[in-house]
Amino acid sequence: MNDWIIYGANGYTGELIARAAVAAGLRPRLAGRNADAVRTLATSLGLPFTICRLEDRAGLRQALQGAQVVLHCAGPFQETSAPMIEACLETGVHYLDITGEISVFEAAAKQDAAAQQAGVMLMPGVGFDVVPSDCLAAHLARRLPGATSLALAFRALGSISRGTAITMLTMAARGCERRNGQLIITPPLHEVRMFDFGRGPQPCVSIPWGDVATAYYTTGIPNIKTFVAIPRRSRRWIDLTRRLLPIAQLPLIRNGLRRLLARTLRGPDAATRASGRSIIVGEVTDATGRRVTSRLTGPEGYALTVQTALLIVQRVLNGHASAGFQTPAGLYGPDVICEVPGVTRSDE
C-alpha cells in the first residue's frame, strides 16, 4: 500500500508539494474542501482526488480509507489538526503536517499513548518549521551533552503566503518559551538579542516558534527560546508593535485582518523560491557556562518545506515510521536535513 494524501492540496504550500511530488514520480491523492480548486489541480496533474470537509467526521474517515499517510497542509493548524488527527487514529493512517504552532505539537504529544495503541505515527512539523531547526537543535545537543539552555534564531521570512500570515496573526498575541521543562507564556516580542547569521550581529526578537515545543521532546533541553531576525531600523517599532498585537486579536479586527490577508497575499514566486536562502543559528549552554554555536543554511523557506515534507513522506512510505508522537530529528536523527540539496551546516 503506497496511497498517500495531501489534504489542503489547493493551498499555496499544498500545491507546491503536489507539483513537486509529481515531478519526483510520486502520485499522491489530493484532497480538500474546495471542490473546484482541488478538482482543477488534480486534473492538471493527472492525480486522483477526494473532496471532504474536516467537520464531516464520517466523510473524512471514508476519505482516509486505504491510505498509508496523510500530509495535512490546511491551516491554521490549531483549528484544523484535531479532526484530522482523530480521523487518522480511527483509520490507522500516519499523520504528518507542516505546522509551526506550539499548541498543535503539544496536543499531538498528549495523543502519544493513543497513537501507539492505534499503531499510528503523529509527526507535525515536517516543513521549514521544524525539520531544519529540530535537526540543528539535535546536532547542538550532540555537540554539548548535558546542555541546559537552547536558543534558536531564524533569518528566513521574506514574502509569505496568506496561510502563513493568518497563522502568524493567530500566534502573535503572546510569546512562549520553555523554562525548566515547562511552557511559560510571556508578553509578545518581549526579548531582543543579537545573533550572527554570517555577516555580523543582527537584532532578533523572541517569537513563539514551534521549536519551543519540539526541541524539548527531541533533546530534553529544559530551557528553550526562539527568535526571528528583524531589520535594524525596525527595532524602534518593537514597543509599539507589542502594544498593538493584543488589539489585533479582538474578534472584529482579527477577522478583518484575516480577510485582508486572504485577498492580498499569494506567497513568493518561483524566482524568489529558487534564489532565496534561509539561515538558522543555534546556541546551547550547559550548567558550567560552556557554549557552542552552529549555523544551518538552506533553500528559501517554502522551497525547503517542499523538500523536507517529501523526504519524510517517502521515509514513511518506505516503512520508516514509529507509532506515537514523534519529532523529525527525534526519529530520523540530526543529520536527515543534510540529505536536502543546498543545505550546509557549520560549527563554531
**Second-level CATH architecture of 131-300:** 2-Layer Sandwich (3.30)
User: Is the Cα dihedral 238, 76, 119, 1 positive or negative?
Assistant: negative
pLDDT digits (tens, 9 = 90+) for 84-104: 999 999 999 999 999 999 999
Q: What is the sign of the dihedral through the CA atoms of 5, 11, 13 and 17? A: positive
Q: Whose CA is closest to 189, among 230, 158, 137, 155?
A: 230
Instruction: Give the range among 100-104, 230-234, 246-250, 309-313 with minimum mean pLDDT.
Output: 246-250
Statement: residue 207 has pLDDT above 70? yes
CB neighbourhood size of 331 (10 A) = 17
pLDDT band at 268 (very low <50, low <70, confident <90, very high): confident
Contact yes or no for 172/182 (Cβ under 8 A): no
- Across the range 304-331, mean pLDDT stands at 98
Q: Where are the domains of the chain?
A: 4-128+303-332, 131-300
**How far is it, in rounded angstroms, from Cα 137 to Cα 223?**
12
CA 310/CA 307 separation, integer angstroms? 5
Q: Over the stretch 331-342, which tens digit does the pLDDT of each residue have?
A: 999 999 999 999
Task: Indicate the average pLDDT of the chain.
Answer: 90
Q: Which residue's C-alpha cell is 517529501? A: 310
Residue 158 has pLDDT above 80, yes or no: no
pLDDT band at 232 (very low <50, low <70, confident <90, very high): low
Superfamily of domain 4-128+303-332 in the CATH hierarchy: NAD(P)-binding Rossmann-like Domain (3.40.50.720)
**3 state DSSP class of 170:** helix
- In this prediction, residue 242 carries a pLDDT of 59
